[in-house]
Amino acid sequence: MLRYIAWRITVMVPTLLMISALVFTIIELPPGDYFESYVAELQAQGENVDLKAIEALKVQYGFDKPPVERYFHWVWGMLHGDFGYSFEYELPVTDVVGDRLWLTMLVSFVTIIFTWLVAFPIGIYSATHQYSWGDYGLTFVGLLGLATPNFLLALVFLYLANLWFGTSIGHLMDAQYFNEPMSWAKAKSIMEHLIIPVIIIGTAGTAGMIRRIRANLLDELQKQYVITARAKGLHPFKALMKYPLRMSMNFFISDIGSILPAIISGAEITAIVLSLETTGPLLIRALQAQDMYLAGSFLMFLAGLSVIGVLISDFALALLDPRIRLQGAHTK
């Protein structure tokens, strides 16, 4: 087992390197670079473009060097904790991402909790009352959130919330609290504004979770020990909760791999429409503008989290399920 852990950790390194190369290529791939769009934008505003100054900027950031050299420079910097410089914001990447990170995590955590709160009861009910109208009905409701395109839903909710409740449109808080320190009023405003994004993003995730809880629970409920427990007189609720439910939580573990990065940057489209101050829109904008370091470093950060998450979930799974032989093809 220990050998396996050491092996996986060593393998993580080339994986991350591969990812970094992929990320770099992806960002560099579209034609042009940030400076071209910068020049174009200045010209669109009627500013006199000092071409020589732009050239100087390019040299300053190493853009006159070949891509391979720039790649190594970037990776080297990241290993030292220097995530680079955002051209668009003209600030170090860490400063740009900084504030948005905790708001993103707030939104994600509340959404996850909301998803669990909704999916659990529905999933359990579905499993225990399979093929009933209740089963169909609740699954339908759960699926609705998944099926509707988020961006349209977002706009409609925003409009209605403003019409009926007077909630200010978009963002995570009222305009007056933007630069204010935290206070009860600010927290209340954030809570009020969280409702719409959490509902929209959350309902999209409930469908999958309902399905999985339902499927896993159904599997468990067939097993012998459940019948034995009921035969021995265990209360039906306890027979459900104490053993089968815990056994079917397996999938949570395998989900860690994808949840971790999603907490840091998820639901980009909803965030763009709702104008939320989260990292999703930041990433999208950086990619569109080809803001190399901001986009690249952030993607690497997410990728790193994902790899670590997969590692954790694989370990946990291996611990729990000995069926998954890890030593390769079975030879006989």
Partner 1 sequence: MKMTSPLPPPGKEMGHYVSEAPFDVMSIEKISPEQEKIYLAPQWKLMWWKFRQHRIAVWCGVFLAILYATIFISEFLAPYNIQTRNVDHIYSPPQQVHLFHEGEFVGPFVYRQQYKLNMETLKREYTKDTSKVDKIRFFCTGDTYHWWGLVEMETHLFCPANGGELFLLGTDRLGRDMFSRIMGGARISLTIGLLGVMVSFVLGIVIGGMAGYYGGWVDMVVQRMIEVLQSLPSIPLWLALAAIMPVTWSPLVVYFGITVILGLLDWTGLARAVRSKLFSLREEDYVMAAQLMGAKPSRIISLHLVPGFMSHLIATATIAIPTMILGETALSFLGLGLRPPITSWGVLLIEAQNINVVALYPWLMLPVVPVVLVILAFNFLGDGLRDAADPYK
Partner 2 sequence: MMRCLRLALLTMLLVLGVQTNAFAMTFEETPYFSDLVKAGKIDPVARRVPQQPRIIDLAKIGREPGVHGGKLRMLMGSKKDVRMMVYYGYSRLVGYDLNYKLQPDILASYEVEDGRIFTLHLRPGHRWSDGAPLTAEDFRFAFEDVMLNKKLARGGLPNSMLVNGKGPKFTVIDELTVRYEWDAPNPQFLPALAAPLPLYLTYPSTYMKQFHADFIGKQAAEALAKERKYKHWRAMFIRLGRQNRPENPDLPTLEPWFNTIAPPSEQFVFKRNPYFHRVDSNGRQLPYIDTVEMNISSPNLIPAKTGAGESDLQGRYVSFEDYTFLKQSEKRQGYNVLLWKSAVGSKVAIRPNLNFKDDAWRAVMQDARFRQALSLGIDRHEINMVTFFGLGKEVADSPLMQSPLFDEEYASAWASHDPVLANRLLDQVGLTKRDDDGTRLLPDGRRAELIIETAGESTVETDVLQLITDHWQALGLKVFTRATQRDIFRSRLKAGNTMMSVWSGLDNAIPQPSMSPEELAPSNDSQTQWPQWGLYGMTDGKSGTEPDLASARRLLSMWQEWQQSRDDETRERIWNDMLKLYTSEVFSIGTVNSTLQPIVVSKKLHNVPKEEVYSFQPGSYFGVFMVDTFWFQDGLGSD
Under the rule (CB under 8 A), what is the footprint of partner 2?
30-32, 36-37, 40, 43-48, 50-53, 55-56, 60, 89-92, 95-96, 99, 155, 158-159, 162, 168-171, 175, 178-179, 272-275, 277, 281, 288-290
In the range 287-306, which residues lie near partner 1 by CB under 8 A? 287-288, 295, 299, 302-306
In the range 29-48, which residues lie near partner 1 by CB under 8 A? 29-31
- Is the Cβ of residue 1 or residue 51 nearer to partner 1 in the bound state? 1
- The least CB distance from residue 74 to partner 2, in Å, is 16
Cβ atoms of 305 and 261 within 8 Å: the answer is: yes
Q: 92 contacts which partner out of partner 2, partner 1, none, CB within 5 to 8 A by kind?
A: partner 2
Selected from 5, 6, 9, 22, the binder of partner 1 by CB under 8 A is 22
Cβ atoms of 178 and 161 within 8 Å: the answer is: no
**Within 80-183, where are the H helices?**
93-128, 133-147, 150-165
- The least CB distance from residue 262 to partner 2, in Å, is 22
Going by the DSSP 8-state scheme, the letter that residue 29 receives in this structure is -
Measured between alpha carbons, how far is 287 from 21 in angstroms, rounded to an integer? 16
- The least CB distance from residue 264 to partner 2, in Å, is 18
- The least CB distance from residue 287 to partner 2, in Å, is 11
- The least CB distance from residue 307 to partner 1, in Å, is 5
Cβ atoms of 308 and 257 within 8 Å: the answer is: no
- The least CB distance from residue 114 to partner 2, in Å, is 23
Q: Would strands 85-86 and 91-92 be described as parallel, antiparallel, or unpaired?
A: antiparallel
Cβ atoms of 138 and 126 within 8 Å: the answer is: yes
Q: 258 contacts which partner out of partner 1, partner 2, none, CB within 5 to 8 A by kind?
A: partner 1
Q: Which backbone phi and psi does 197 adopt, to 5 degrees? A: -60, -40
Going by the DSSP 8-state scheme, the letter that residue 172 receives in this structure is S
- Tokens at residue 269, please? 């489209």
- Is the Cβ of residue 195 or residue 269 nearer to partner 1 in the bound state? 269
For tokens 């469908």, name the residue: 207
- Is the Cβ of residue 189 or residue 306 nearer to partner 1 in the bound state? 306
Selected from 220, 268, 277, 291, the binder of partner 1 by CB under 8 A is 268
In the range 138-197, which residues lie near partner 1 by CB under 8 A? 139-140, 143-144, 146-149, 151-152, 155-156, 159
Measured between alpha carbons, how far is 237 from 229 in angstroms, rounded to an integer? 11
Cβ partners under 8 Å of residue 146, min gap 6: 203, 204, 205, 206, 207, 208
The DSSP result for 196-211, as a single string, is: HHHHHHHHHHHHHHHH
- Residue 323 as a binder of partner 1 (CB under 8 A): the answer is yes
Measured between alpha carbons, how far is 294 from 301 in angstroms, rounded to an integer? 11
Q: How many residues bind partner 1 (CB under 8 A)?
A: 59
Measured between alpha carbons, how far is 58 from 182 in angstroms, rounded to an integer? 40
In the range 234-263, which residues lie near partner 1 by CB under 8 A? 257-258, 261
- Label residue 40 exposed, middle or buried (CB < 10 Å: 0-12, 13-18, 19+): exposed
- Residue 19 as a binder of partner 1 (CB under 8 A): the answer is yes
Within 10 A of 102 (CB to CB), how many other CB atoms are there? 10
- Residue 324 as a binder of partner 1 (CB under 8 A): the answer is yes
Residues that bind partner 1 (CB under 8 A): 11, 14-15, 18-19, 22-23, 26-27, 29-31, 131, 136, 139-140, 143-144, 146-149, 151-152, 155-156, 159, 207, 211, 219, 222, 257-258, 261, 265-266, 268-269, 273, 283-284, 287-288, 295, 299, 302-307, 310, 323-325, 328-330, 332
